Amino acid sequence: MTTPAPVQRENPASSSTAPRMRLPQSTALIVGTIIGVGIFNLPGSLAAYGPISLVAMALTTVGALALAVLFARTSRRLPADGGPYAYARAAFGNATGFSNAWLYWITAWSGNAAIVVGWVFYVQYFLAEYWDLGWMVVIAGTDVNLLAISLCLVGLWLPAAINASGIKNMASFQYWTSIIKFVPLAIMSTIGLLYFSTGNLTPFNVSGESTMAAIGGAMALCLFSYLGVETAAVAAGRVEDPDRNVPRATIFGTLAAAIVYLLSLLAVFGIVGSPALSESTAPFSTAFGEMWGPWASQAAAVAVIISGFGALVGWTMICAEMPMAAARDGVFPARFAHLSRRQMPVFGIVMSTLLASVAMVVSFIGNAGYEVFNVLLYMSGITAAIPYAFSALAQLKWRFADHRKLHTPRFVRDVTVALVALIFSLLFIWFSRITGEPFLKEFAPFIMAGVAFLVGIPVYLAQRDQMAEPEPVPEYRN
C-alpha cells in the first residue's frame, strides 16, 4: 500500500514576507523560555536538599550545555521546524517521531502549567501587601485556593492572546521581558554575593538521603530551569537564516542563563539559608528583603512576575509550533497546521492552553504550594528528557554513519557531546521521583506523564496512514 502524502499546508517560514525572528529575538526566545520562574522558585524547591543542591545545579549546567551544543549541531544539519521531534522522526521513523512530538507537546503545556503556578507565588506575594487573599473553598475534602487558580488562568490565557495576535508582537514582548528578567538575576549574581554568609551553607545535605541520592533528586528539579535550550530549533521556521542563527542563539542564550543561574543560586543560599528558604513562597524576594528591606523584596517580586509572564508568552508559542510542524508532516491532526490571518497556529495555542489549564486545576486539588509546582515540574522534566535522549541518539546514529563513509572532522567532539547529553537525559528521567513519599505520590509525575502519553495512542492510530515518509537526512556539515 502506498502511504498517502499529507495535505500540503502553508509554512510560515516559506514566505519571504512573513515576519521572522533575527538573532537578538531568537536568542531572547532561548533566554525567555529558559529563564521563566523556575530559577526564581528553585531555591524553595531545593531547600529540602540544602546547599548540596549547588553541586546538583553545577552538574545540571554541564548537561544543559551539552544539550545546547547538541541542538546547535543537529539544527545546523537539519534546520527543520520542530526541533527534537524532527530529529527523532528523521532518524528513527514516523512512530518514534510521533512519540517524541507527543511527549514534547506534553512538556510544553505541562511546563506552562508549572510556570504559571510558580508565577502565582510571586503575584500573591506582591498582592498580599494590599489585599486579603483568602479565597479558599473545600473540594473533595481539600482546601483549594480559588484566587490562585483564577490568577493562574489569567497567566495562561493572556499569553495565548498575545501569541494569537502575531509573531511580531510575540517576539517584541519576548525581547523586552528577557531584558527585564535579567535585572534581578544580574544583581543577585554580583552584588548579592557581597551579602553571602558561609554559615548558611551548613549543614550541606539536609535531606536525610545519601549524597548521590540528594544530588540526583536535586538535579531533576534543576532540569526544569533549563527547559528551553531547544526552543530556537523548535521554532526554526520562524527564525531568519536558521542555518546560522539557530545554533548561535542556542549557545548564546544557554550560556547567559547558565552563568546567572549558578551565581544567583549560590547567593540566595548564602543570604537566606535552607531553613528560611523552605518556608518562603518567593525565595528571591526573601533574599532581596534580607539585603535591602521590604521595598527591594516587592521590586524583586514585580521583576519575577514580568519574567514569568514573558516565559509564558514564549512557551505558549512553542506549545503550538511543534504540533504545527508535526501536522505539516501528517503526524499530528491537520487542524494544528491551520494558520490564522495573522499567520499563527491558533488551534494549537488554544488546545495547549486549555490542557495547561486543566493540569493546573487538577494539580491544585489535593496539593498546595510547592507540592503542586514540583509535581508539574517533574512531569514536564520526564516528558522533555525523553525527546532530548532521542535527539542525542539521532546524532550518534548520524555521526557513526558519517564516520563509516569517510573520516569526518570533529567526530569525537560530536559523539562525546551526544553521549553526555544522553546520559544526563536518562539521569533526569530516573531521578524525577518524589522520594520519601508513598508509592503513588512518589511516582505521581510518572503516572501523570504516562496517562498523558497513552491519550496519544488513538491519535497516532488515526494519523498513521496520513504520515509522509521522512525526507533523507542531509550530509554532514562541519
| Stated pTM of the model | 0.82
Q: What is the chain's mean pLDDT, rounded?
A: 84
pLDDT at residue 368 in the model: 53
Q: Is residue 256 part of a domain?
A: yes
Domain assignment present for residue 7? The answer is no
Q: Give me the pLDDT at residue 41, please.
A: 81
pLDDT exceeds 90 at position 100: yes
Tell me what the mean pLDDT of segment 346-358 comes to: 94
Q: Which of 16-25, 62-71, 301-310, 417-426 has the lowest mean pLDDT?
A: 16-25
Q: Specify the pLDDT at position 346.
A: 94
- When comparing pLDDT for 414 and 11, which is higher? 414
Domain encompassing residue 373: 25-466
The answer to whether residue 29 scores a pLDDT higher than 70 is yes
Give the Cα-Cα-Cα angle 154, 158, 161 (nearest 5 degrees). Answer: 150
Span 451-467, mean pLDDT? 92
Q: What CATH number should be reported for the domain holding residue 108?
A: 1.20.1740.10
Q: Which residue has the higher pLDDT, 165 or 121?
A: 165
Specify if 123 maps to a domain: yes
Domain presence at residue 5: no
Of 215 and 361, the structure prediction assigns the larger pLDDT to 215
Confidence at 207, pLDDT banded by 50, 70, 90: confident
pLDDT, one tens digit per residue, over 156-201 is: 999 999 999 988 888 787 778 877 878 888 899 999 999 989 888 8
The answer to whether residue 405 scores a pLDDT higher than 80 is: no
Instruction: Return the HEC string of the chain.
Output: CCCCCCCCCCCHHHCCCCCCECHHHHHHHHHHHHCCCHHHHHHHHHCCCCCCHHHHHHHHHHHHHHHHHHHHHHHHHCCCCCCHHHHHHHHHCHHHHHHHHHHHHHHHHHHHHHHHHHHHHHHHHHHCCCCCCCCEEEECCEEEEHHHHHHHHHHHHHHHHHHHCCHHHHHHHHHHHHHHHHHHHHHHHHHHHHHCCHHHHCCCCCCCCCHHHHHHHHHHHHHHHHCCCCHHHHCHHHECCHHHHHHHHHHHHHHHHHHHHHHHHHHHHHHHCHHHHHCCCCHHHHHHHHHHCHHHHHHHHHHHHHHHHHHHHHHHHHHHHHHHHHHHCCCCCHHHHCCCCCCCCHHHHHHHHHHHHHHHHHHHCCCCCHHHHHHHHHHHHHHHHHHHHHHHHHHHHHHHHHHHHCCCCCHHHHHHHHHHHHHHHHHHHHCCCCCCCCHHHHCHHHHHHHHHHHCHHHHHHHHHHHCCCCCCCCCCCC
- Sign, Cα dihedral of 267, 272, 275, 278: negative
Nearest to 391 by CA among 157, 229, 154: 229
263 in a domain, yes or no? yes
Decide if 214 is inside a domain: yes
Is 9 part of any domain? no
33 and 380 Cβ atoms separated by less than 8 Å: no
- Residues 356-395 pLDDT 10s: 998 888 777 655 555 666 777 788 889 999 999 999 999 9
Per the structure, how many domains does the chain have? Answer: 1
Overall average pLDDT of the 132-151 stretch? 63
Q: Which of 167-176, 319-328, 340-349 is least confident?
A: 167-176
Largest Cα–Cα separation, the chain: 71
> 406 in a domain, yes or no?
yes
